[in-house]
Amino acid sequence: MSRADQHTRQQIADLVEACAGYWELRGVALESSAQMQLELEQHLQQAVSDGKSLEAVLGPNPAAFAEAWAREMRPRVFRGGAKVLRGLVYALSVVSSSALLSQLLARSPAFTFTLFGAYLLIGSGLLALLLQLGGFLAPRINKRAGREALVLAGVVLAVLVLRLAGLQVNWSTPLLSWGWPVTIVLLALAAFLFSLTCWRSSHREPLLTVSESWSALRTVTTFVASVGVFDIVMFFSSVAVVDFCRLALRLV
């Protein structure tokens, strides 16, 4: 069997990842999804090495293929909620740690969660999901950069359409405000829920080797680091947005 080149392998990996993300959202059991991914990857690799196109395997619409297979796997809505729950745990971690940092740095007794913060969190989650599902475009757009650019262009276009339709938003609008006790409770809740998701995944796939334990540790470190980076981005961008809104109000 001749080896598919790096480029095609990336296309296959992105397609399989998009299918996996879709199946998870649809509520296909993770064990079944893992086997489906293996079968699909193996089939695509063999088909490509035999000179066939990805379209010959998945048809003109890979999302329809993923849906047709998901329907036969007895999906459950609550399983699809697990992915959403992970997103919520991440959002809670970002909000609680952001509140802690801002209260510590500003020595303020209260933290205000603005509309911009909510927009940033929800927008980032949706964008991450769209980028993953963008793998469905792999048979038509060969390069990952091209697919990502198309998804981003779609998002920008949607925002522009909303703006042109007359949607005006004051980003510095406070949504919620709370003090130290709530921040501590939220932090504890985020830590508890994150530990619960880690425990669930280790319960499903027990950590047997040293490398698996390192991998789990890396997952925790990556999560904490990404929450930290998100906090920094949210802090600086919200300061910029609030300043911009103030300036705009003065000009008006």
Partner 1 sequence: MLVETRSTQLLKGTLDMCLLATIAQWPCYGYEMVQQLAQQGLDLVSEGSIYPLLSRLQHLGYIDGYLVASRDGPKRKYYHLLPAGAKQLEQWQAEWEVFARAVERILKGARSDEQS
Minimum CB separation from partner 1 for residue 136, in Å? 13
Nearest CB to partner 1, comparing residues 40 and 137: 40
Among 58, 94, 131, 227, binds partner 1 (CB under 8 A): 58
Nearest CB to partner 1, comparing residues 55 and 243: 55
CB 160 within 8 A of CB 93: no
Closest to 10 in 3D by CA, of 145, 126, 125: 145
Range 145-164, binding partner 1 (CB under 8 A): none
Nearest CB to partner 1, comparing residues 44 and 95: 44
- Using CB under 8 A as the binding rule, whether residue 5 contacts partner 1 is answered as no
CB 234 within 8 A of CB 98: yes
CB 102 within 8 A of CB 166: no
Nearest CB to partner 1, comparing residues 53 and 195: 53
CB 22 within 8 A of CB 67: yes
Burial of 23 (0-12, 13-18, 19+ CB in 10 A): buried
- Using CB under 8 A as the binding rule, whether residue 45 contacts partner 1 is answered as yes
Rg (CA), the chain: 22
Among 25, 57, 91, 137, binds partner 1 (CB under 8 A): 57
Identify which range of 43-51, 118-126, 130-138, 171-179 contacts partner 1 by CB under 8 A. 43-51
Among 60, 109, 166, 181, binds partner 1 (CB under 8 A): 60
- Which of 88-124 are b and which e, b meaning 16 or more Cβ less than 10 Å from the residue's Cβ? ebbbbbbbbbbbbbbbeeeeeeebbbbbbbbebbeeb
- Using CB under 8 A as the binding rule, whether residue 20 contacts partner 1 is answered as no
Site for partner 1, rule CB under 8 A = 1, 35-36, 38-43, 45-47, 52, 55-60, 65, 68-69, 71-74
